[in-house]
Structure 1
């Protein structure tokens, strides 16, 4: 299973998307599952962007 190719612009994400509570692509709540979309550094701080399971199913 590969990660979705589109990566959102970090500065435009909500705090919940930046912290990995909500999906970085659609802003839905992640719940118990997700896929790592990207690992980024913003202003010296590391963040992991997550995609919800809905986007992993679209890849199949």
Structure 2
């Protein structure tokens, strides 16, 4: 379960790096905007992931 979430977060980060790379090459603002949106959702996914880990640890104790 957690491995799938980790891979998903990694893929989101790679997609945002690709968008920022496309922006650097083409200077089209849409790539920059898409990259920012992907980073935003990556941060949200990471916070949810760590929140679930914290709740699991608290419930085990």
- What TM-score comes out, normalization by structure 1 length? 0.25
Q: Which protein has the bigger helix share? A: 2
- What TM-score comes out, normalization by structure 2 length? 0.25
Q: Which protein has the bigger strand share? A: 1
User: Based on CA coordinates, which of the two structures has the bigger radius of gyration?
Assistant: 2
